[in-house]
A and B are shown apart, each in its own frame.
Chain A
């Protein structure tokens, strides 16, 4: 079971990581466009559509990945102080109540939305002769489907947690505030902090 969970985790992560690279593409594309406009006086009509598509695809496809590493923002007033069992039961209820209907609606509606777009061979109307837009709309059902899959994994996690009383492990991933890495970056060791503690104790005495 745990293996299957981790496999789907890895799938979401792989998709998320793959589409993460789009940010570099986006940066280079826009920088080049700015350069081209000012230096060569040669702006491109398709650049705007391309930017939007890169951005939209980037964040939509990263949704499941973000869920798999527990990266979606949560209200943390109470949650953090509950025991894992209470957390898991709450999550389980709300996954079924909010997540499943919402995301199923997204996949379902996204499918027909994209299908319509394919049928009429829709092109962007931002500029004349805009690029085709149906591949971009197809992103919606795909992103929703992976998200749904990841949601089912999370639900299973909740059930496991309710059974065993602690959260099953997640895979490691790069973190925004990775204290160890930051310590290394500024060359501070734990010993330094320990030594500093003596200073603190001394000051608190006086």
Chain B
């Protein structure tokens, strides 16, 4: 029971990318490149830097994520907090060189009910966030 409960509190997405870590790192850390694949942003690869990720999938729908850079280890690890609509989590990208390119691992963790912030203020915002995400996903298809 507990295993199931723990499991659903983090999201892990892994992928093998046919490019070296250095190139992938640029895409993860340069604002104009981040915008191309994730969201508009004012990111800086500096621990402690606070920034926003923003996307407006429709004129009246904005997805705004509040973030703070936690860890920057060039070409290896990048992590930042990810807070939107009462949800606080930590997103960590881990890059590992492999023969043909880079193994990219993204973990988003911190949805544990025992982490007080995670569920604070959750309400209608969740629906908005999910609706916005769903639109993004549809558009990405």
Partners in one complex: no
Measured CB to CB, the residues of B under 8 A from A are none
Interface positions of A (Cβ within 8 A of B): none
